[in-house]
Amino acid sequence: MTPPNILVIMADQLAPQFIGAYGHSIAKTPHLDALAIRGMRFDAAYCNSPLCAPSRFAFMSGQLISRIAAYDNASEFKASVPTFAHYLKSLGYRTCLSGKMHFIGPDQMHGFEDRVTTDIYPADFAWTPDWEAPDERIDKWYHNMQTVKESGLAQATFQIDYDDEVAFAAKRWLFDTARDNALGNLSPFAMVASFIHPHDPYVARPEWWNLYTDDEINLPDFVPALELQDPFSRRLMDGIEASFVPLSEDEVRRARRAYLANVSYFDSKIGELVQTLDEIDALDNTIIIVTADHGDMLGERGLWYKMNFFEHSARVPLVMAGPGITSGSASNAVSLVDLLPTLIDVAGGDISMVGEPIDGRSLMPLARGEDDPVDEAIGEYCAEMTGYPVIMIRRGSLKFVHCDSDPPQLYDLVSDPLETTNLATDPHYAEAVAAFAKEVEDRWDGEDLRQKIIATQKSRRALHAAMEAGASESWDYDPPSNASQKYVRNHMDWTLAAKRYRYPPLKDQGQ
């Protein structure tokens, strides 16, 4: 029996709190909502690092970032690390990446047979932080409040251009796969279509902006006074300038409105891809997974963007729908490293085929509506605005956050979903705090990890300086294209070309 096709649709910086299926009162996300109705919605899914590249490398490899040295947005994703794309190819799948994966380094494929777009961000070491100067900004690319202040309307942006290209290229590849299928190539496919929206800048086209009004946009639920912020949050606020660049309520509403508009835009891309699956007669035999690399604080707790383990930043949407998947919701804590073993499971493989130790488990039992004794997600943040690793353990209703340089944090997400009260010094939770602290001590050597991170930062900064001086070719991915073999050319019989491109084939129409 042929295993099902796989389509992973990935957003960038999409907090589940801003999706209709996850309870947002005005979010217009009909296509994702429809998938959630007919599939499994995971209500406690987390990224393994709340930053683009590290999160994606954990997602691709099934390994925590400390295991593969994927610390920040300029950490190389080594070609020697196996990914789910490698394993799916070994299991007989045609594999394709359309869109962003923020690969850093000369390997820009990482197991994908086809890659049909370039990436939106650079592939070199330019974005390397410096833990020996943790308060220093890298102004050429670093977030600040000007991004929020410039939120609003536009007819075109680099993000819109990119996502329109990603959707077009993905749909064309799916049609090419269907054409090959009609000619006898019956291999299942696995595609990742990865979009940049709703990542800031918060700028939307009018048709999405006009889905919402200023009056219905709520302000953040909980914003502590500056002097009450925990030390890590205060460093983040300083880093993004939120601690000294004031925002008006209108500016906050405008940014959140544009974000919602871009969530709806991303949802429209889900609809386009689902429609394409239907048009190539693959919808009933394709498992669709929708997720994101991390969330966005959007002013909650006075924070913006990501880079922390509060719920709006660390949680991600995760919806699975397709053959063998039950309609329902799962409350167990899960994370992006669980997707590699899940995809191997879907493809008919097993964990014995993995080439390196992995940190996740298959989510197919939960997707089928079965019990899962594991209720845990692990996060690691090793990038800017800190000088020591930040560790998160989410287990059951409790979330523990540890950093060697900061006081511990503990939140009960059932009784306090907004994380308003740090329970780390509450005597009633002393036993839990001690157990979490002991677990962190046993599983992570913070000082050793810090020294490894600083060493890689030094080497990458030295390499980047040489690259800037012309020491190497660009690693930015350039999709191959051979115009002499496209559409109709003089060496072709145009009637045969027309027959090749037409889908469904004429024979399928009874002609």
CA 231 to chain centre: 27
In angstroms, the CA 158 to CA 164 distance is: 10
DSSP state of 361: -
User: What secondary structure, in 3-state letters, does 265-329 show?
Assistant: HHHHHHHHHHHHHHHCCCHHHEEEEEEECCCCCCCHHHCCCCCCCCHHHHECCEEEECCCCCCEE
Q: Report the run of H or E that residue 459 belongs to, with start and end.
A: helix 446-468
Cite the active site residues: 52, 102
- Of 273, 328, 342, the closest CA to residue 36 belongs to 328
What torsion, rounded to 10 degrees, do the Cα atoms 387, 393, 397, 398 define? -50
- On whether the CB atoms of residues 247 and 148 are closer than 8 A, the answer is yes
In angstroms, the CA 59 to CA 343 distance is: 11
- Of 329, 441, 307, 283, the closest CA to residue 379 belongs to 307
Q: Which residues contact 44 (CB under 8 A, 6 or more apart)?
A: 315, 330, 331, 332, 333, 334, 377, 394
Q: Report the run of H or E that residue 393 belongs to, with start and end.
A: strand 390-395
- Of 476, 474, 472, 453, the closest CA to residue 128 belongs to 453
- On whether the CB atoms of residues 339 and 55 are closer than 8 A, the answer is no
